[in-house]
Chains A and B, each alone.
Chain A
Amino acid sequence: MKIAVCLKQVPDTEAEIKWDIPKGTLSRDGMDSITNPFDEFALEEALLTKENYDGEIVAISMGPEGAADVLRNALALTVDEVALCTDDAFAGSDTYSTAYVLAAAIKKAGDVDVVFTGKQSTDGNSGVVAAELAAVLGFAPLTYVSKVRSIDAAGKKIVVERAIEGGTEVIEAKLPAVVSVIKGINEPRLPNLMGIRKASKIEIPKWSAGDLGVDAGKVGAAGASTKVVEIAVPPPRGAGEILKGEIEEIANTITDKLIDLKVIK
């Protein structure tokens, strides 16, 4: 079975974010970056799938050259192949062009049976690349997956549980499929020192727009439909009121104030 996993590099939440305002994009230079937290679950699920069902894993990322770090981390966890989709033409991509480039990379990687992605990135926050990727590739869309019940590569079948509003949906789908995973589906493992050392020596293959055979008009800022026109820091919330006094008095005041909002039915 051939397994693909999509890993996005995102700025560390603790890091100060720098914006390239005219371009409406994040200026990623000099910022601490990490693997998108949700993608660690996707990677772990790919590793578990390989262990349970046999197969090989290709990890794919689209981003600037520095995004090679997330792939190196995946190599340390013994994925078989990696590919970094990097090209100046990709800068400023929207979700559709991102899905379009990742789809081209997945096709180039070979006959992929299942693609794992995270539910959402912590920078762009869109939570749609998986569904778009499935639509572009014509693969079965399986989003918000909380458990992979079984995969039958020979019979081209997968059964998963999806965590959606109000409960869990069990879906049976034909392979190939795109599976986006939520937090808690597994416990991501950490690489060991030997893995890290080995990975540090491996050259990361880079795929350009030309290598992928993508239409330059459909990627990057040129291809993006949506353009960021304004970036603002939401106004801080007005300083609140600290309720003082004895507990009895505080409880009295706060319950009055909340009842006055006329929200409690």
Chain B
Amino acid sequence: MANDVWVYIEHKDGVITPMSFELLGIGKQLADGFGSSVCAFVIGDKVDDLAKEAGAFGATKVYAVEGEVFKGFRGEAYAKAAAFLLEKYKPEIALFRATSMGTDVAAAAAAQLGFGLCTDTIGLAVDGGKVKMTRAAFGGNYSVSVVNEKAAPQIATVRPKAFAMGEKDASKSAEVVKESFALADADLATKVVEFIKSATAVNLVEADIIVSGGRGLGSDAGFAMLQELADLLGGAVGASRAAVDSEWIPYEHQVGQTGKTVKPKIYIACGISGAIQHLAGMRTSDCIVAINKDPDAPIFKAASFGIVGDYKEIVPKMIEKFKSKLSR
């Protein structure tokens, strides 16, 4: 239906990535603004369980494309199916997660159809009969609001954690509309040969707690200490570019303008000065703790709590206190 708000259900190994439910939450709010419905769309080799779960999280209708060719994940194939559904039903807006998977599908579908695209959205609201999308630009130093000037649909990718999860109600279910979309392997230019799981699966973007280190750590041994704190709290380890450039930790841990943009509930920055390019990647974290020897370090201006001192003294003490207070 026109004006409906569509949410793309991202899944991996048969399980919906939890953040897809955030999209159903904000999708519902937008649909209420339009007096329309929030619908989900899902593409995969088997979609029934996924569709059911999307219904429990508030989707009123689930549009699905199913087929053997969608086994595993292949952005190219998923994008073609997504474009087919969006073209056919023309919702007001389609929301995807701003992950590598979500972004690839959203971008290719948008380009195939010539639709407007706003990426890494952190704010969504109905304004004057249109969706106003707010995103960070210029490395987070500015926030920019955009609207679609052309006919709907609009496509937006949404930053993980930008919105609260929708509520689950197992008694709710959605009507499932299965569409057939024929796609053969021969129609595709890409083939996944293998997937090598990362030994240290870092999922900074989805972590609620990040313990990050910079040049001030002095060596890779410092990161072992931060890892211990992160493990204790169920968090992940981040880093500044200076630490990555020193080869104390791999690039996938880098936070900032040329690394990952994160928004955890707690960000603990150790030995990081707070350069504008680092702040760009973490300044919207809920609570920032800065530990730095230099009382004038710019990081303190962004910190909720500042501790002036040597991380080598403070972090072990924090580990000790957490262990006893959390009885771990």
A residues near B, CB below 8 A? Answer: 11, 13-14, 17, 19, 24, 37-38, 94-96, 99, 122-128, 131-136, 139-144, 159, 162-174, 177, 182-184, 218, 224-234, 236-237, 239-243, 247-248, 250-252, 254-259, 261, 263-265
Contact B120 A125 (CB under 8 A): yes
B14 to chain A, nearest CB (A): 15
For residue B287, which residues in chain A have a CB less than 8 angstroms away from its CB?
Answer: 258, 261
Docked-complex contact A250 and B309, CB < 8 angstroms: yes
User: Of A37, A230, A259, A265, which is within 8 A of B234 by CB?
Assistant: A265
Q: Is the CB of A171 within 8 A of B190?
A: yes
Q: Are A243 and B305 in contact (CB under 8 A)?
A: yes
**Is B228 in the interface zone, CB < 8 Å from A?**
no
Distance of A168 Cα from B325 Cα, bound (Å):
38
- Given the complex, which residues of A lie within 8 Å of B290, measured CB to CB? 240
Q: Are B108 and A125 in contact (CB under 8 A)?
A: no
A225 in contact with B108 (CB, 8 Å): no
A19 to B143, CA, bound (A): 12
Which among B100, B110, B135, B194 is the interface contact of A170 at CB below 8 angstroms?
Answer: B194
B22 CB to closest chain A CB (Å) equals 16
B246 located at the interface, meaning its Cβ lies under 8 Å from any Cβ of chain A in the complex: no
B149–A135 CB distance below 8 A: no
User: Contact: B145 with A228, CB < 8 Å?
Assistant: yes
- Distance of A139 Cα from B108 Cα, bound (Å): 11
Chain B contact residue count (CB 8 A cutoff): 97
Nearest 8 CB-CB pairings of A with B: A225-B116, A140-B189, A131-B107, A135-B111, A132-B111, A251-B317, A128-B107, A230-B145
Please report the C-alpha to C-alpha distance between residue A261 and residue B266 in the assembled complex, in whole angstroms: 9
Given A123-B137, A165-B205, A261-B287, 11 new contacts (CB under 8 A): A131-B104, A131-B108, A141-B104, A165-B100, A184-B251, A224-B116, A231-B142, A237-B303, A240-B300, A250-B314, A261-B286
B257 adjacent to A122 (CB under 8 Å): yes
B204 nearest CB across to chain A (Å): 10
- Within the complex, the shortest CB–CB distance from B131 to chain A, in Å, comes to 11
Q: Are B75 and A141 in contact (CB under 8 A)?
A: yes
Q: How far is the CB of B29 from chain A (nearest CB, A)?
A: 20
Q: Pull 13 A–B residue pairs with CB atoms less than 8 Å apart, ordered by A.
A: A11-B138, A96-B111, A131-B107, A132-B107, A174-B190, A225-B117, A225-B148, A225-B150, A227-B149, A229-B132, A229-B145, A251-B317, A252-B321
